[in-house]
Amino acid sequence: MSSGIPPEKQRQRAPSKRALATRERIMDAAEQVFAAHGFEGASLREIAARAGVQVALVNHHGGAKEDLFWRVVARRADELSAARLDALAARKARGALTLTAVMECFLAPYLSKAETGGAQWFAYARLVAVVSADPRWRDLCAHCFDPTAGRFVAEIAALYPTCPRQTVSAGFVYSVSAMLALLTSRWRISALGDGASDTCEHLDELVTFCSAGIDAIARRQLPPFAAPAQPL
């Protein structure tokens, strides 16, 4: 698939509540299976079994396997993008941005959804990690994630006007990886630390970590004695 999210099948009438509930169950199951096994390792049969439906219903609601994968990834992308852009707009309305503020607007919405939205948002983080690591899904990333990511990269680049955008983009991608690592490997933090903690409790340290990293690599590209447009 390279032309965007596959269109939904045309229906003679609006789907019933039962049909909508079945579709949601299938999408949740597919999200879990794709997150656990990746695209190649997942099977429609396992998705159907987890959703408690026949394979034919998976095909009916999701289409072919690749179409279903696209739909599952796209399902939460718009909601997450809206939350991030709303946070950014609200913060800009309060005054000039700092790098820390920009990163908090990007990172906080996902951590909040993961903390309040249940296991599916953690599964989605694993799925996004799968998509981000495989160039096969370049078009999917371009459709679902790049417009919003580009907005945040542009805001960061404005704070470092003489820094190459490639450097800013690299720092941003490193930060996305750090966020996904927290969402998918929080158990490692607990294992190496002194006990469990909520995801949102790590927000300040994640924002600090990512902001300091971006600032460090951006400053390496600045002329001697130059400074970013805004403080960290």
pLDDT tens across 43-91, in order? 999 999 999 999 999 999 999 999 999 999 999 999 999 999 999 999 9
Provide the pLDDT for residue 10: 47
| Least confident interval from 125-129, 139-143, 196-200 | 196-200
In this prediction, residues 28-51 reach a mean pLDDT of: 95
- Domain 17-220 in CATH: superfamily? Tetracycline Repressor, domain 2 (1.10.357.10)
In this prediction, residues 163-184 reach a mean pLDDT of: 95
Top-ranked range on mean pLDDT: pick from 13-17, 200-204, 216-220? 216-220
Q: How confident is the model at residue 1 (pLDDT cuts 50, 70, 90)?
A: very low
Angle, CA 128 vertex, CA 204 and CA 132 arms, to 5°: 100
Task: Determine the residue type at 143.
Answer: H
Query: How many other C-beta atoms lie within 10 A of the C-beta of residue 121?
Result: 20
Pull the structure tokens for residue 183: 């969402």
